[in-house]
Structure 1
Amino acid sequence: MNDSYYKDKEKIYDAEVLESSSLDENIIIKILIRAGRTIAKPALEVLEMALDPFTPTQVRVSLMAALAYLIMPFDLFPDFMPLVGYSDDFVALTAVLSIWSRYMTPAIRARAERKLNKLFPFVK
Structure 2
Amino acid sequence: MEEKSYLKYRKYFAPQLFFNKLKHNIKNLTQELLLKALELYYATENPKMPLTVKLKVYGALGYLILPLDFIPDFMPVLGYTDDLAALTYTLALIEPYIDEQVRQQARKVFSQLTRTKSL
Q: Considering the TM-score relative to the shorter chain, is it more than 0.5?
A: yes
Partner of 2:35: 41
Contact 1:66 1:92 in 2 (8 A): yes
Q: Kindly state the Cα deviation for residue 56 of structure 1 after the two structures are TM-superposed.
A: 1.5
Q: Which of residues 28, 40, 43 is equivalent to 2:18?
A: 28
Q: Kindly state the Cα deviation for residue 54 of structure 1 after the two structures are TM-superposed.
A: 2.9
Q: Kindly state the Cα deviation for residue 78 of structure 1 after the two structures are TM-superposed.
A: 0.3
Q: Kindly state the Cα deviation for residue 122 of structure 1 after the two structures are TM-superposed.
A: 9.0
* In 1, Cα distance between equivalents of 2:70 and 2:12: 24
Q: Kindly state the Cα deviation for residue 26 of structure 1 after the two structures are TM-superposed.
A: 2.8
Select between 50-59 and 75-84 the one with higher mean Cα deviation: 50-59
The TM-score with structure 1 as length reference comes to 0.74
Aligned-pair identity in percent equals: 30
Q: Which of residues 73, 98, 108 is equivalent to 1:104?
A: 98
* In 2, Cα distance between equivalents of 1:54 and 1:111: 17
Computed over aligned residues only, the root mean square deviation of the Cα atoms, in angstroms, reads 2.4
CA deviations over 1:48-94 (Å, ceiling 9, x no partner): 01233332211101000000100111111000000010110011001
Partner of 2:70: 76
- Where in structure 1 are there 5+ consecutive unaligned residues? 1-16
CA deviations over 1:2-55 (Å, ceiling 9, x no partner): xxxxxxxxxxxxxxx9xx969532321222231422321100001001233332
The TM-score with structure 2 as length reference comes to 0.77
Number of positions where the alignment pairs a residue of Structure 1 with one of Structure 2: 105
**Deviating 4+ runs (over 4 angstroms):** 20-23
Contact 1:66 1:93 in 2 (8 A): yes
The residue type paired with residue 31 of structure 1 is K
Select between 76-85 and 36-45 the one with higher mean Cα deviation: 36-45
5 Å-filtered alignment, 1:62-73, equals 62-73=56-67
- Where in structure 2 are there 5+ consecutive unaligned residues? 1-6
Instruction: Write 1 or 2 for the structure with the bigger share of helix.
Output: 1
Structure with larger Rg: 1
Contact 2:13 2:59 in 1 (8 A): no
Q: Which of residues 90, 101, 108 is equivalent to 2:84?
A: 90
